[in-house]
Structure 1
Amino acid sequence: MSQNLNGIDVEALQGFARLVESKAEKGAVRFGVATQWKGGTHSVTEVSSYELGGVKIDRNFEIAVDEPVELLGRNKAANPQELLLAAMNACMTVGYVATAAMMGVTISSLTIKASGMLDLRGFLDLNQQIKPGYDSLDYEVIVEGDGTPEQFSQIHEAVVRTSPNRWNIANAIRLNAKLTINVASNAAEVG
């Protein structure tokens, strides 16, 4: 019988880890989304599929995005910065519960709070000396469970080391941009 700890099927996770260890291509995963502008600051992102080990797996989710009224939106959904922080927190949450489960540690409560300060003069292109992004992000992990402080420190170190979204935010990654311009019925690609 499989052990389920923190909502994680430990046996299945261990089996998947063994599979990826023996066949690296089984651990290759490609995620993608398509975002459509809906007017003003509102957009909707469609999650339709991902690939795991070369196999396409269908999904069907939409993520609404908007800005607060004070930032010229209609306040109908979280904004891109909130979703960036949420994506980092959610990815680390998966890491905490999965790593704890693999160590036999039960988590009874886990909250990750994240924040960052932007200077909108960078976004508004009012001062080219000011970057549009963050200088740093702050986050706090509040965890409760049956593990020792040493175990929770080990779990934390593992999450810091292995969380894809935390890694992508903490390290520069290459962005490969392609711009397609549709003018009337003609399409042109740039870059």
Structure 2
Amino acid sequence: MNNVVNEIDLNAFQQFADRVSQNPTTSKARFNVQTRWAGQTRSVSTVKSYELFGKTYERNFHIAADEPHEILGTDSAPNPQELLMAALNACLTVAYVAIAATKGVKINSLEIDTSGELDLRGFLGLDEKINPGYDEVQYTVVIDTDGTQEQLDEIHSAVLKTSPNFANFSRSIQMKPQLVIANK
């Protein structure tokens, strides 16, 4: 019997969760993206693989980024801020859909609208007191579903507790930068 809600195979989802639960030492996932400058304000990031359960899985995706003309770019791709928000929205979408599925709640449609404002004086180094990043990001979830208000409140609460990118946005991440000077 097929147990699928929101196009999520709940049997496979439970098997995955069981595997994670039973193997805490190998339950971590490692993701890596390599980005190369492609001239002016353009860059291309490549996703080649990820690690899960101690095994490497090959991937092959390219993600372009550029700035709009007004910020000295060629406007050939979304800018890094738009990609950051897209990554948040995509992660939240997965969480809403999967958590709703585990509760037997069918989603008919789901949209997330995210925005934030940067003070470019921080980005340009014109005032060191100004945060070059976001002080606040707003997002609105519009969901059409057969779920009750109580179910949707539970789903929303679970998303806020478990979404990796919600956590990345709402909590401080320890960054470990390293600069390597290439030899000529």
TM-score category (smaller protein): over 0.9
Question: Residue 2 of structure 1: CA displacement?
Answer: 3.0
Which whole-Å CA distance do the structure 2 matches of 1:81 and 1:164 have between them? 18
Q: Name the aligned partner's letter for residue 127 of structure 1.
A: D
Counterpart position of 2:157: 157
Shift of 1:129: 1.1
1:86 counterpart SS class: helix
Runs of 4+ in 1 over 6 A off after TM superposition: none
Name 2:59's counterpart in structure 1.
59
The corresponding residue for 1:125 is: 125
Q: What is the match of residue 175 of structure 2?
A: 175
User: How many residues matched?
Assistant: 184
Alpha-carbon distance in structure 2 between the residues aligned to 1:5 and 1:25: 30
Deviation sequence 1:37-74 (CA, Å, 0-9, x none): 00000000000000001100000000000011111111
- 1:25 Cα deviation from its structure 2 partner: 3.0
Identity %: 51
Q: Can you give the 5+ residue segments of structure 2 that lack an aligned partner in the other structure?
A: none
What TM-score do you get using the length of structure 1 for normalisation?
0.94
CA–CA distance in 2 between the matches of 1:126 and 1:26? 46
Question: d(CA) in 2 for partners of 1:150 and 1:83?
Answer: 32
- Please give the alpha-carbon distance, in whole angstroms, between the structure 1 residues aligned to 2:6 and 2:77: 29
In structure 1, the partner of 2:28 is 28
CA contact (8 A) 1:19 1:26 kept: no
What do you get for the CA RMSD once the two structures are aligned?
A: 0.8
Q: In 2, distance between residues paired with 1:134 and 1:154?
A: 28
Q: Which amino acid aligns with 1:5?
A: V
- For 1:107-131, what per-residue CA distance to the aligned partner results, in whole angstroms no more than 9, with x for missing partners? 0000011000000000000111111
Tell me the alpha carbon deviations over residues 166-187 of structure 1, each in whole angstroms, 9 at most, x when there is no partner.
1011000111111110142xxx
Q: Match of 2:39, as an amino acid?
A: G
Equivalent residue number for residue 10 of structure 1: 10
Give the TM-score, by structure 2 length.
0.98
5+ unaligned residues in a row in structure 1: which ranges? 185-191
SS of the residue corresponding to residue 139 of structure 1 reads: strand
Give the AA of the match of 2:97: V
Please identify which structure carries the higher strand content.
1
